[in-house]
Structure 1
Amino acid sequence: MLLVFFFVSKVLHILPSRFEAFKSSYLLLNAQADKSLSNLSDSLIMHERNVTPVHSSTSSSSSEAMFAKSGQKSGSNVVAKTSGDQSVRNHQRNAQVCKYCSGKGHWLKKCSQWINDGKPPFPARANDTSGCSPQVNVSGCSPKLNDIDSEPKSALLADCEQLNLVTSSSDQSWWIDNGATKHITSNREWFHTYETFSKPNYVKAAGSRVTAVGHGSIEVASFVNGQLVKFDLTDVWYVPGISKNLFSVVAAHDKKPESRFYSNPTFCKFEADNRVMFTGTRSKNGSLFKASFETILPEPQVNAVESSEIVQLYHERWGHVDKNHVRAKLAELGLKKRSQETKTNSSNPCQFDKVHRETFEKRSSTRAVGELLSGDICGPFDCSFGGRKYLIVIKDNYSNYRNTFVEKEKTAAVVSCCVREVLFKAHALGHQVLEFQCSSK
């Protein structure tokens, strides 16, 4: 194996200067076990086919030699191509690589392994460009303009099927990519502000589509000439399936049109607002520039007044008092609310909250129906098939007649509807309700 690596390194070393981008891509994206002479040969052939323009002058004479075959239908001509065109077409079909099984000679839609696996949606078809957005050049090379506008002409990598995008996120560094159109990271905890995309967005990386979940801003800092420089990266895309954190020079220029990016084979710097914001370094004939700035993690913020865990904790510590009372007491202790955060659901019932209910005042016994009604809500019980789990009881203290209602939820609107129904029945029977007592729990 060591001897094979030696020959592969020797072949890469003697390649002409026009293969510098290929060498960077091959060393960066191929695993150690895949670096063989046969793999290198196939990658070089694929690189030549994708990058080198195809001149059609040599085959123009053969393509013009077509004949019309008549006699099947009147006025119809069947056009046939020459054997030269057929051989070219067969050669191109044999050179195609399946996006699913990496086999040659067939497309994804004719892949038997993909069909047997139930036609999973990933990876997407090569000709499906719907929903594609920013293009990520993992090789570190700046693509041409016509390469960005047309997907089949992009030719980002020579052997992109060997790329494993989902890797460990232990790499906390930022890498400068001239070909990327968006800042990209796979670390969700770095965002100071974050917003999820309303519809799916995708990133093109080495011929594959990776889903972008959301975007936001990240604060970074770098030391330049002994001074600390802090700045924000805005519109950073969160892509869990990418392995490196990429800084887009194009996106930085769009944010600050007066900025400048300078580079040589081993050093680069980015200037904005008449000062150097950060620098980058790389080894000669290496891959991407490694940026000098580092990420500033956002400080963890806990809203004790609105946090459901804190409110529930003090609700239990203070004898299961009402949660609105708990919030008021926590605010008196100096834990202020945040206006942008919504309140947690305080309508969840507590089995012990009626312990704090005060007793009603003593009164003489009733003498007629409707003189005094008492109401109470019990539950929650086990849900019925209809989703009902609360029992509302309204009792007449003179006749001990009880009206019961089984409801789905415990809200003021539901309770008031039940009370109105009882009052309507009493009025229909000729009784007048004088007083109704109940607890607010």
Structure 2
Amino acid sequence: MEIKKCQSMCILSSAVEYSQLEYLITCEIASEMWSKLSAIHEQKSAANKLSLMTKFHEFKMAPNDSIAQHVAKIENMARQLKDVGEELSDVMIMAKILGTLPQKFSPLVTAWDSVSEANQSRANLIERLLKEENRLANFEVATNALATMKIQERNGAVNNSTVSKTSASDSKRGKPAKKQFLCNYCRKKGHTEKRCYKKRDDDRTKREINNSTKDDNTANFGAFMVLNSDFATRVLQNDSKDVWLLDSGASKHMSFHREWFSELDENYRESVSLSDDSTCEVRGRGVIPIEMFVDGKWLDGKLEDALYIPSLRKNLFSTGVCTSKGYTLNFEANSVKIYRKNLIMAYGIQQNNNLFRLLFKVKNTFEANASSVGNLKLWHERLGHINCKSLSEMVNKNLINGVSLFDNAKFFCESCQSGKQHRLPFKTKEKCLRERKVGEFIHTDLCGPMSEVSIGGSRYFLLFKDDKSSFRHVFFLKYKSKTVQKFKEFEQLVFNQLGTRIKTARADNGNEFLNDEMLDYCRLRGIMLQTSAPYTHEQNGRSERERCEQSSNVRGQCYCLKTWQRAFGPNQ
């Protein structure tokens, strides 16, 4: 008997953690050890039961929880109550599940009352809830898509009616008619190239080759399907990192090649789940220009809303995105064809691992355009949206080497109108005579803070402009408190390069100029600091115009390129 008692105590001692042994030192038999451990860890007191019961009755479904997660939490609390001696029946558990469901499950709760008692089991309830959750998810997707289409149609109708009402009211009041813009694409008045319906239609049907009748197209399908066996062999021998694979499980087109994107929004963030339950971080979304091999020719195309995922080692073409845009996929023995309006738009062949490889190749988005011949609109955009009249004069006078214009036709630049709006200057009757030397009279102004921080972390730029030569110098600042330091650097730069001391500096009434450090430095160096009247930027017109010109050029390029504005300064 004594041996069995010692064996029992040994088994219990060896089964618990070392930190729990101090509670068992005074125990003489195994039953005493078990009773002490039960009293410490089971906590079957009335207070613990009350706490668990209160938690169970006050529990509500979290907004982001699925049905499976919600049911699991309720069953876990019921199991805890059972461990402390308060076992709950299936009816109470089912009542708790139904009572904590969101409002959208109300039809199912009502229908559950009509189910016979024999079929009112917990397993049957959970099964019905999961089916209802899937049905509601699909219904919400379809409803959101329909609502989006209706909003877009309503906005288009409102815009059209607003334009017609405005023009009619202006004509009644005797106001002059608004300027009719000329489209650079269709050469018609009344709209810009950005809103040209002809351009949209041409882009939509660019790849739809339909030079013959419908019967001829049907008869020529065989010509589209024929592939040379040598060509197919060469395609399959390409590097697997540079090919596109057809994937029915991909929600969007995906690639890990950053250099393939002609347009990329790097602020876009998302996570993608893979088949092995791992996740990949999306680092951007954009457009990839491609070429598709059809009927012995390479046709231009592009993949929109493609995801940039650096950790993904394959390029995936989503069949879901393809079918949602009206395309049809036809799988055969060793090939797949993508149709649209009875025309084959793309072709793919089967690999040895049964995956389908599409006959795509990506255009090189970094090809340098070395041509120096172009129209006025092209060079206007290349040179930062400068004045077209000045550009034409510089080209005609051969002031720009290697540039020639074959078309000087006037055009309307919407980007300039959006990015170069400014206040009109004061009208002066006489001009100031500038008989000063270069570097003696300086105009300065600080611009910022910018709405976007630059890549280098700068939020301001400080402009200096010489009154005599109109030479400008710009400093990029992270903090406006660095203004005085940059002024000292510029003053030393002028003296070292020109041998001239700054005599007068004109600025506004900003605190970056009117502070003790700046005033003491100007007084020590003999520099006269002139300031404009408060809230009258026009009195400091030269620096203000220069600042507006630089800012508007950057904004014009951003509007034209449809890009973000964080690259306004260097990496300082």
Give TM-score, length-normalised by structure 2: 0.30
> What TM-score comes out, normalization by structure 1 length?
0.38
Taking CA–CA contacts closer than 8 Å with sequence separation of 6 or more, which of the two structures ends up with the larger relative contact order? 1
Higher strand proportion (structure 1 or 2): 1
Structure with greater helix percent: 2
